[in-house]
Structure 1
Amino acid sequence: MVVTAGACLAGCATYHAHPLPEQAASASSLSQLRGYDATMAPLSADAVERLVLLNNPDLRSARARHQAAQAQRQQDSVLPNPVIGGSIGYLLSGPGDATAWTASITQDITSLITLKPRREAARATADEVDASLLWEEWQTIGKARLLVIDLVEGQRQLDLQQRALDLLAKRESRITQAIGAGNVDRVTVASDLSAAADARTAMHDLQRRQLDQQQQLAALLGLKPGVAVPLATPLAPSDLDAASIREQAEGISRRRPDLVALQLGYRAQEATLRAAVLAQFPPLSIGYDASQDNSRVRNGGPAVSFALPIFDRNQGNVAIAKATREQLHQEYTVRMATSRDEVDALLDQYAQLQRQRQALLPAQDDATRAAAQAMRAWQDGLVDMRAYVDLEVAALTRQAALVATDQAMLEQQAAVELLVGRGMPTSLEQDVIAP
């Protein structure tokens, strides 16, 4: 008995304190990031995505769920322990001449009956957590991809807006000097002054948006807000094959981790329901009892105990399991339908952007030619600065509109590829129960 007890204690876990840190801080430079190599700068979109996967604080926290799920899976897969009981009755009075004792060992049969479905449920639940984590990683990659697009294309717009603002500010300065000298009436040049003010406001808006996106990217990488992330330019132009996307959308239920997670959750609930149905039978324990009374008469034999299913037939747990399964069934069905609808909607929006871009190209080319001619005319003294600046700013505005359209197309491409899981390997190789 002592040896058995010692062996059991030897397999027990021990407690070790793990105090929380008193201070914590984000990385203050790119060199502190895991996986960063100085030769990588400036960073491509792929490099940024890799660094995000390795360093994102939220993903590091989320990965702890994997360990918790595996521990729960291990616990739910353990066989129930047999129960040993006993008692001693010392002789206090009477004709007896010995100490009475009883001993028993029993095993819960109901837990053995439900063990297989409970193990299946635990395994599917652990896999569901992993699939959900993969989807969270994929969404984080998508955020990083969109931020790279917005930052690179946003910088192009900033450069164009800065050129326009320089021209308008130069004209504004000359107009202000002329007004001060009394050579120009302020009313006649009010629109020119307003154009410069509007360009300055637009510049400030772009700068604020650029800073916000830079800080968002730094946060995704686990960096302090002020750390600049150099990005490689230019980005490859958008190239979205609608036919290929629709073909990939056909297998979305096996490629998208969130849909795989729902399927695994449904599988776990199916197993939970089976376990609940099996558990509605009377709780049954089988074992062996032995005893001795005070006159040394000994008895021994099998023992059976079970509960009478008069009030509790596990009907509540069965109903809960059925309702939960139906809820998951509906959620999966709706998610599948909306996912396909979202793909179709994004492809329609991308096609619209393509048409708009084609329509912008001739106007942009015409405005660029007109601006070049106006510059030569202004240098030759044939037109005044006001007309030249108007045409030059108009050309820059056309270019900015084209850049904005290119940015929107890149964003739509990234969104639709994220939606269908393009570039992601099949999330689950084995057969999955699809409701």
Structure 2
Amino acid sequence: MSKTPPGPSIPAPQGTPAMRHAPAHIGLRAFVTDARRQRRRRRKVMLAGSLAALALLLAGCAGYAPKPLPANAHWQDKLAALRVNPSDIPLPRLAAQPLDLGQPLTMDAVATLAVLNNPQLQLARDQVGIAQAQAFAAGLLPDPQFSTTQDYPGNSAGATSSAYNYSLNFDLGSLITRPAARAAATAHVRDIDLQLLWREWQTVGQAQLLFVQLSGLQQRDALLRSQRDLLRRGLQRTRQAVAAGNLPRTNADAALVELQAVEQRLASDAQQRLQLESRLHALLGLAPNVPLQLAPLPALPAHDTAAAHEALAHLAAIRPDLMALRAGYTSQEQKLREAVLAQFPSFSVGLNRARDTANVNTLGFGVSFSLPIFNGSRGAIAVQRATRQELFDAYQLRLDQTRADVAQVLANLDLLQHQRHNLETGLPQLESAERAATAALDAGAITLPQAQAQRMALLQQRLALQANAQQAAEQAVALDLLTGTGVYRPAPAALQPDTPKPTSELRSKSR
């Protein structure tokens, strides 16, 4: 069997070694391409995840809307525009009183309208809203912190990849002080709420006091106008007698001086009435030109000294200002506790996910904490302790001052009662003397100045009685405010005074 002779040998072309290595280059290029695709795919996934997380965060964010300031004064230009729903105030006895704007306003009606419409109270209610927002903020957990870095290699001849580092951290130190911070914020809300209640009590007292003063002016002016009319008639008769030559001109001059003195007192009362009415309009949130018709001052009950002394023993559980100071002291105690807890090292923990340029992936965690060597919250503790001592002294001072104020009012009422007894005892004698002087003047037995002296003595006695009654009414209003009696006393079905219903709940609809 013959063999086929081998053919002529063909020389190998240049580049044959490179052609022998071509499959390796093709595989490396394919590997790099796949790696790049995977990296792009991972970046797209990470970008999509980041966008989704960002969308979720933005969905939970609050929006902003501007609120421009008003350009004009906000006064109610008519009485019917005032709020008249007594259920919005936390004084059951005052809320139970009927309120009819079509009738002359009683003292309780004026007090009710003042609490419902006073602009200053609206600012106090806004402060309650701020305190509630602060309490809400104190209860929120701290946000975790996320950080990321991305590095891209450059001018590298070897096989490299982009590097990244993802870190998620959470501060655990705030969890230590969070209970104390929440307790402090909650007590602060109660403090501000009770301060609002005390301002409402004071607004009621101011409205009642203005009502008493305006009613007193009306009663005094009635006496002065009656005396003025009498003097005008007497002056006319005197001038006729002077013209007839029966009396000297000095008698007419003396009668004119007496009349002008009464006119000046009426003019002074008119100016004082304008000031009191302006204060009452501002208290009610009314425009200055809105007319107000007040009912006569009712007969106030005599003060009960035994009830006042009984209230003194429980003032800390009755007076809203004292309860507010106690709530503020409780809040400060929690702030001091928070400062003490803050002296311990605060630390945070975190998770890390990273890859370097050599495509080495790592997963780990980290812990960081502060060393309380130089600060250690010692300054904050000193400040909170000093503040607590200040609140302690303020509460003791207010308690002592309240007892002194009540004792002073009771002493004033006893003195006014004794003075009224003396004034009422001497009034019949002065009335009899004035009638006798008038008869003697008509008979020519006495001179006109002598008769005028008797009339003026009687007028001064009546004015003194009116002033005594007004002062007694003012002191009674003050005693009710200081001891929590009268309209401030809770109704039988109401809550106990040491645990009153928050005033912010009672007026949540009004805000």
User: How far off is 1:184 after superposition?
Assistant: 4.3
> What secondary structure does 2:286 align onto?
coil
Match in the other structure for 1:28? 77
Q: 1:341 aligns with which of 404, 409, 418?
A: 404
Match in the other structure for 2:276? 213
Q: Which amino acid aligns with 1:219?
A: A
Match in the other structure for 2:116? 54
Distance 2:446 2:301 in 1: 40
Structure 2 gaps of 5+ residues are 1-48, 86-98, 491-495, 501-511
The 5 A counterparts of 1:192-231 are 192-231=255-294
Match in the other structure for 1:272? 335
Distance 1:233 1:383 in 2: 42
User: How far off is 1:174 after superposition?
Assistant: 4.0
> What secondary structure does 1:114 align onto?
helix
CA contact (8 A) 1:164 1:393 kept: no
> What secondary structure does 2:334 align onto?
helix
> What secondary structure does 2:273 align onto?
helix
Distance 2:462 2:135 in 1: 58
User: How far off is 1:371 after superposition?
Assistant: 4.0
The 5 A counterparts of 1:226-305 are 226-305=289-368
Query: What do you get for the CA RMSD once the two structures are aligned?
Result: 2.6
User: How far off is 1:172 after superposition?
Assistant: 3.3
- TM-score between the two structures when normalised by the length of structure 1: 0.91
The 5 A counterparts of 1:103-114 are 103-114=166-177
- In structure 2, relative to structure 1, the CA distance for the partners of 1:136 and 1:129 (3 Å cut) is same
User: How far off is 1:287 after superposition?
Assistant: 2.0
Structure 1 gaps of 5+ residues are 431-435
Match in the other structure for 2:128? 66
CA contact (8 A) 2:437 2:446 kept: no
Q: 1:77 aligns with which of 139, 147, 150?
A: 139
The 5 A counterparts of 1:10-409 are 10-35=59-84, 40-92=102-154, 93=156, 95-176=158-239, 184-186=247-249, 192-371=255-434, 377=439, 386=448, 390-409=453-472
CA contact (8 A) 1:135 1:256 kept: yes
- Of stretches 143-152 and 305-314 in structure 1, the one that deviates more from structure 2 is 305-314
User: How far off is 1:182 after superposition?
Assistant: 6.1
1:9 correspondence with 2:58: yes
Distance 1:238 1:167 in 2: 34
Q: Which amino acid aligns with 1:276?
A: A
User: How far off is 1:237 after superposition?
Assistant: 3.3
Distance 1:74 1:4 in 2: 25
1:139-190 Cα shifts (integer Å, max 9, x gaps): 1111100011111122111100111122223333444555566654455676
CA contact (8 A) 2:75 2:285 kept: yes
CA contact (8 A) 1:214 1:228 kept: no
- Of stretches 323-332 and 97-106 in structure 1, the one that deviates more from structure 2 is 97-106
1:266-286 Cα shifts (integer Å, max 9, x gaps): 111111111111111222111
User: How far off is 1:109 after superposition?
Assistant: 1.4
- Of stretches 186-195 and 287-296 in structure 1, the one that deviates more from structure 2 is 186-195
Q: 1:410 aligns with which of 473, 476, 498?
A: 473
CA contact (8 A) 1:27 1:222 kept: yes
Distance 1:233 1:117 in 2: 54
> What secondary structure does 1:301 align onto?
strand
User: How far off is 1:356 after superposition?
Assistant: 0.5
Larger radius of gyration: 2
Q: 2:499 aligns with which of 417, 421, 429?
A: 429
Distance 1:94 1:240 in 2: 102
CA contact (8 A) 1:238 1:410 kept: no
Q: Which amino acid aligns with 2:143?
A: N
User: How far off is 1:102 after superposition?
Assistant: 1.7
- In structure 2, relative to structure 1, the CA distance for the partners of 1:167 and 1:366 (3 Å cut) is same
CA contact (8 A) 1:238 1:406 kept: no
Q: Which amino acid aligns with 1:206?
A: D
> What secondary structure does 2:77 align onto?
coil
Between Structure 1 and Structure 2, how many residues are aligned? 429
Distance 1:40 1:255 in 2: 35
- In structure 2, relative to structure 1, the CA distance for the partners of 1:372 and 1:228 (3 Å cut) is farther
Q: Name segments (4+ residues, structure 1) moved above 6 Å.
A: 382-385
Distance 1:109 1:401 in 2: 73
CA contact (8 A) 1:167 1:389 kept: no
Identity percentage over the alignment? 35
1:354-405 Cα shifts (integer Å, max 9, x gaps): 1011111111122234445666x47985867946665444333322211110
Q: Which amino acid aligns with 1:216?
A: R
- TM-score between the two structures when normalised by the length of structure 2: 0.78
Distance 2:127 2:324 in 1: 14
CA contact (8 A) 1:215 1:226 kept: no
Q: Which amino acid aligns with 1:60?
A: Q
CA contact (8 A) 2:185 2:331 kept: yes
- In structure 2, relative to structure 1, the CA distance for the partners of 1:244 and 1:79 (3 Å cut) is same
CA contact (8 A) 2:177 2:342 kept: yes
Distance 1:143 1:65 in 2: 21
